[in-house]
Structure 1
Amino acid sequence: MVARDADPTLRALLGRRELRMRLAGEEKDLPPGALDRPTRWVHSSDLDDPTPFLADDLVLLTTGTQFPTGSSYPFDTYVRRLVDRGVAALGFGTEVARDGIPAGLAVACRRANLPLFEVPYDTPFIAVARANAEAVAAQAYARRSWALSAQRAIALAALRPDGLDATIAELAKQLDTWVGMYDAAGELVREHPAGTLTSEASSVLRIEVDAVLRRGARAGSSLRSDTDAFTLQTLGRGGSLRGVLAIAASELDQAGRDVVTAVIAMAGLALEQHQRLSRARTALRSGMVRSLLTGDPALARQISRDVWGPLPAAPIVAAVTDAAGPRTHALIDVLELRADERHGALLYGTLDDDVVIVVPASAAATLEELPTRFAVRVGVSEPVGYAEAGRALAQARAARDRAAGPGLSHFAEVQNRGILSALTSADAATVASGYLAPLRAHDRETGGRLEDTLRAWLEADGSNERAATALGVHRHTVRTRLAAAEKVLGTDLGSFAARAELWTAFHLGG
């Protein structure tokens, strides 16, 4: 980038020898950097309060006609107004209305840390304004020239074998700062210069990148901490982000933004091409998963060995999650990354509306990353051999469907909850309530206790005596109530099937 000392500043303006201007007082008495503040414009005014007509980072010139002689003028108030408005410096034209700079003005500027300089009589204010305007124009030209040169260098970098990495490296070189690219899964996949981020900055940046990707909208944002500042730009289309470009800079000027925009366009194109390749790989992996479900892994084993490496070692577990979520493409990117890292120790594919993952049973803990990062339900099967891959898939789906919320749900846990726990759908509960409705209507209308009696009787394994003891009634009362319940329900409770259906209805119908 263009060096900072080429910017229009008060130091550069005072350095113009033809203007013969000089600083009032010593630079050491000013705050650090006071003379290096950018000066966007030079304006002249002898108004007592010119602030309504001023802008930030402006150098104000005055001849002092607003300062009456022979009386005490509130210089502190005048100077404070200028500082509050964002004026960068004050220039006083001597020998026009006053001989030299008024002492009160010099004292007020010193108190307010506002740079004050003298403009000699034979230096027109217009010459000072023109000199600063020329510096502004020269800087703008230099920035445009730099932007064009940087874009050419980046375009050439994009033609190299690893065009995307070369593009990121060239951007870092042109901006003279750290640049990193995160993929759709939030992983830092490229950075230049490598290894220069602190662990604290890396952690803060990763959290912000994840938040940007979760929002899913195209956007630019800034991130600031106590020690670091970053500019973030999303890559890809809204709703289908392909990653985030991070630059270690608090903000960029227009020329810098133009260069970054060019990189985003090139990176977006490269990532779209990568996405097409990724879809092809996913399709191949999905075919391998389908092959495994036939119970004969020979074809999948041969393809995996030729392309990626051996299949996950048996015994394996199958995992299933939904493939219709808003961040499915990011989830697929993570799985592709993990599959590449593990050289065949992870297999995934899409099947109908599911993403199916196969890993060695010994590595099942690696699946915990998915619900943590993507807030999805992941069902996990019991360990099986490849011949039972179909059964493992069914178990994983059952575990996923029975999960209460995002997280891992293991089939072994679902199985321990019993068969009836798998029937608690809305339809099953509705049917059960309908089955019990006549019984409950009878009790409401007559004040009877048929439902309580049936529950106690079933819990007593069909023993009239034990049910009577639990209810505090005679066993003949229990027998009478059972007969009445059979008539109300239209069933014979002497059969095991009728008892099982009634017991199930009580569990599902509340």
Structure 2
Amino acid sequence: MVTVKALLEDEGLELRVRVAGRAGALDKPVAWVHSTELPDPSRYVRPRELVLTNGLWADRVSAAEFVASVARAQAAGIVFGLRAECPATPDELIGACEDADVPLLEISAAVPFTEISQAMAARYTEERQGALVGLVRRGEALATAISQGAGASGVLRVLRRDHELPLAVVDRLGRLLASDGAELDAVRLQAVADGLARRPPPLELDLGDAGRAALYLVGAVGEADAALVCLRAMRDLTRPEQDALDQAARFLSLEVAKKQAMQAIEQRFAGELLEMVLSGGARAAEVPGRLRAFGVDAEGPLAVWALAFSGTEGALPGLAEAAGEFFASAGVPAAVAGGSRDVVAVMSWRHDERESARVAERLAAAVAGRFPGRRPVVGLGGVVRGVDGLRESLVRAREACRALRHVRPGPAVRTFAEIGAHRLLLSTQDAETLRTLAGAVLAPLRDHDAGRGGELERTLRAFLDHDGHWSATAEALHVHVNTLRNRLAKVTELTGRDVARTADRVDLFLALQAAAMG
């Protein structure tokens, strides 16, 4: 970058500052030089050019008018060339530049303007050559980092050798793939993921307290799989920094593509494993070898978990990857496969079976952090020894997970045995069937409560929650037992179902459960 100050340091040019201009003006880059004697050169001078003049315009316009036209063109400043007829810079020109805050230099009469042009050309040639050498050197270093398996972190290390920039690589699911000098919390990671989901993705984002961040897209044509994030606004980055970031983003595309290909292969491999487990027969003999490929001990204790999101019928993209990362960080060898409705993990389990729920709770919390606003649920199929029990464990895990998906609010983790037969039965019904069942029984109660401000549905729910104990229910509702009897009598009148009869009580209970799940 050639600046006015850099030209001043060249003793051969014999330049002298007469007006420094605004603070820092001499440190700003100079685009080129423009020699002119026009009274108004503003139409021809480009921004950041250095205007060279001998003042031959002085008989047509005032110095103030000439300086104003130079300022209008956003020039880098003025260089006044001394000559025999004018051995000193005119005071009028000095005063005009001071008033306009335009830098003013004077050059010795012994030095022609062409010397400045040649100095600029030499400096730009040297600068460009240095940039090209740096580009080639950095490209070799990036290629070496990628080929040696250094990954995204290796790319950032290469970048940081030349440029002290806060950098991170974030994929479209909001996962932090690498970071060097940048702190990105869950909120900022999600902001980057949201940005990458736009069409087209932005090239700059506001990350709140972290300020503006420049995004260099990583991925295939038309798709942004990730972004190289620099916690600097684009306007604050120099051209060499922008070129280096753009170059690094291209190399990161290779790394991300490689990682995605590996994940796709693993997902297909794990999906085939589930098919083998479910199909049984001849393919069951392939299961031990497939498990060993994932580092899972086929002869030891095995566990199967199913993961999904409450209130949804399908698994979200990225859920299998998030689960896989959790098991890897927890040191649990696992084969993780994403299905159409859930994600299934088959893993080695060398802990006490009671530890399963605690680890599954941690899994649910980790996934919830990755997918804000979603409520993950985990169905546990139990621990079995050897591959013979895998099919039953897989079915139990998926059924438990399916039941949990329909319970809002409710537990995040349950085994098949803990779900309860009524939840398993209701979970096999679609949402419309659940609404029909609930409405057929509860609609009269809800209409009564809405019209008269009553609490019949709440009273019925409390009565069943307290296993039909009158005194305990009345105490929980803060009413007299006679009031409770009157309310439940009204429930019988409106629904045709008597809480004293087992069959009717089951109908009422299932209707309330269906209402919670529908």
The CA deviation string for residues 394-446 of structure 1, in whole angstroms up to 9 with x for no partner, is 01112113447xx974559x969975976682244447768999x9xxxxxxx
Match of 1:12 in 2: 6
Contact 1:315 1:385 in 2 (8 A): yes
Partner Cα separation in structure 1 for residue 328 and residue 367 of structure 2: 16
SS, match of residue 79 in structure 2: strand
Q: 1:119 to 1:39 in 2, by over 3 A?
A: same
Contact 1:308 1:343 in 2 (8 A): no
Contact 2:214 2:233 in 1 (8 A): yes
The CA deviation string for residues 213-242 of structure 1, in whole angstroms up to 9 with x for no partner, is 333356643678888875432322378654
Q: 1:279 to 1:346 in 2, by over 3 A?
A: same
Identity of aligned residues (%): 21
Match of 2:473 in 1: none
Partner Cα separation in structure 2 for residue 157 and residue 382 of structure 1: 41
CA positional deviation for 1:253: 5.9
Q: 1:33 to 1:377 in 2, by over 3 A?
A: same
Q: 1:428 to 1:303 in 2, by over 3 A?
A: closer
CA positional deviation for 1:392: 2.9
The CA deviation string for residues 24-45 of structure 1, in whole angstroms up to 9 with x for no partner, is 26xxx66664333211022244
Match of 2:295 in 1: 308
The CA deviation string for residues 429-477 of structure 1, in whole angstroms up to 9 with x for no partner, is 447768999x9xxxxxxxxxxxx9xxx9xx9x9xxxx99x959x9x9xx
SS, match of residue 356 in structure 1: strand
SS, match of residue 105 in structure 2: strand
Superposed, which structure 2 residues align to 1:43-82 within 5 Å?
A: 43-46=34-37, 49-67=40-58, 75=64, 79=67, 82=70
Match of 2:30 in 1: 39
Partner Cα separation in structure 2 for residue 424 and residue 307 of structure 1: 36
Partner Cα separation in structure 2 for residue 431 and residue 226 of structure 1: 50
Contact 1:320 1:400 in 2 (8 A): yes
Say yes or no: does 1:374 pair with 2:374.
no
Partner Cα separation in structure 1 for residue 231 and residue 14 of structure 2: 40
Q: Which residue identity is paired with 2:15?
A: M
Q: Which residue identity is paired with 2:255?
A: A
Calculate the TM-score normalised by the size of structure 1. Answer: 0.66
Contact 1:371 1:408 in 2 (8 A): no
**What runs of 5+ residues in structure 2 fail to find an aligned partner?**
348-355, 445-455, 469-481
Q: 1:86 to 1:418 in 2, by over 3 A?
A: farther
Q: 1:159 to 1:427 in 2, by over 3 A?
A: closer
Superposed, which structure 2 residues align to 1:277-292 within 5 Å?
A: 277-287=262-272
Q: 1:108 to 1:250 in 2, by over 3 A?
A: same
Say yes or no: does 1:336 pair with 2:319.
no
Q: 1:289 to 1:398 in 2, by over 3 A?
A: same
Match of 2:447 in 1: none
Partner Cα separation in structure 2 for residue 411 and residue 133 of structure 1: 74
Superposed, which structure 2 residues align to 1:258-297 within 5 Å?
A: 260-287=245-272
Match of 1:400 in 2: 405
Contact 1:236 1:242 in 2 (8 A): yes
Partner Cα separation in structure 2 for residue 324 and residue 315 of structure 1: 23
Partner Cα separation in structure 1 for residue 437 and residue 174 of structure 2: 46
Contact 2:152 2:169 in 1 (8 A): no
Larger CA deviation: 110-119 vs 392-401: 110-119
SS, match of residue 213 in structure 1: helix
SS, match of residue 319 in structure 1: strand
CA positional deviation for 1:119: 2.8
Partner Cα separation in structure 2 for residue 250 and residue 381 of structure 1: 45
Contact 1:49 1:78 in 2 (8 A): yes
Q: 1:424 to 1:177 in 2, by over 3 A?
A: closer
Larger CA deviation: 8-17 vs 232-241: 232-241
CA positional deviation for 1:362: 1.9
Partner Cα separation in structure 2 for residue 301 and residue 267 of structure 1: 36
Say yes or no: does 1:362 pair with 2:358.
yes
SS, match of residue 381 in structure 1: strand
CA positional deviation for 1:118: 0.9
Contact 2:302 2:346 in 1 (8 A): no
CA positional deviation for 1:167: 4.6
- Residue 192 of structure 2: which of 212, 225, 236 is its match? 212
Match of 2:450 in 1: none
Partner Cα separation in structure 1 for residue 68 and residue 80 of structure 2: 16
Contact 2:77 2:103 in 1 (8 A): yes
The CA deviation string for residues 258-277 of structure 1, in whole angstroms up to 9 with x for no partner, is 55445434432333233232
Q: 1:294 to 1:211 in 2, by over 3 A?
A: same
Partner Cα separation in structure 1 for residue 22 and residue 84 of structure 2: 30
Q: Which residue identity is paired with 2:193?
A: L
Partner Cα separation in structure 2 for residue 333 and residue 316 of structure 1: 17
Partner Cα separation in structure 2 for residue 152 and residue 216 of structure 1: 32
Say yes or no: does 1:426 pair with 2:409.
no
Q: 1:166 to 1:49 in 2, by over 3 A?
A: same
Partner Cα separation in structure 2 for residue 310 and residue 185 of structure 1: 31
- Residue 172 of structure 1: which of 155, 160, 171 is its match? 160
- Residue 92 of structure 1: which of 80, 84, 105 is its match? 80
Q: 1:149 to 1:270 in 2, by over 3 A?
A: same
The CA deviation string for residues 331-374 of structure 1, in whole angstroms up to 9 with x for no partner, is 33333322222222665322343212468212122221213322
Q: Which residue identity is paired with 1:393?
A: R
The CA deviation string for residues 174-231 of structure 1, in whole angstroms up to 9 with x for no partner, is 546565434555444445xxxx62xxx4136x64443233333566436788888754
Larger CA deviation: 315-324 vs 374-383: 315-324
Partner Cα separation in structure 2 for residue 502 and residue 247 of structure 1: 59
- Residue 154 of structure 1: which of 131, 142, 156 is its match? 142
SS, match of residue 234 in structure 1: strand
Q: Which residue identity is paired with 1:244?
A: A
CA positional deviation for 1:505: 7.7
Partner Cα separation in structure 1 for residue 293 and residue 439 of structure 2: 57
Contact 2:276 2:286 in 1 (8 A): yes
**What runs of 5+ residues in structure 1 fail to find an aligned partner?**
1-6, 440-451, 487-494
* RMSD (CA atoms): 5.5
Q: Which residue identity is paired with 1:143?
A: A
Q: How many residues align?
A: 457
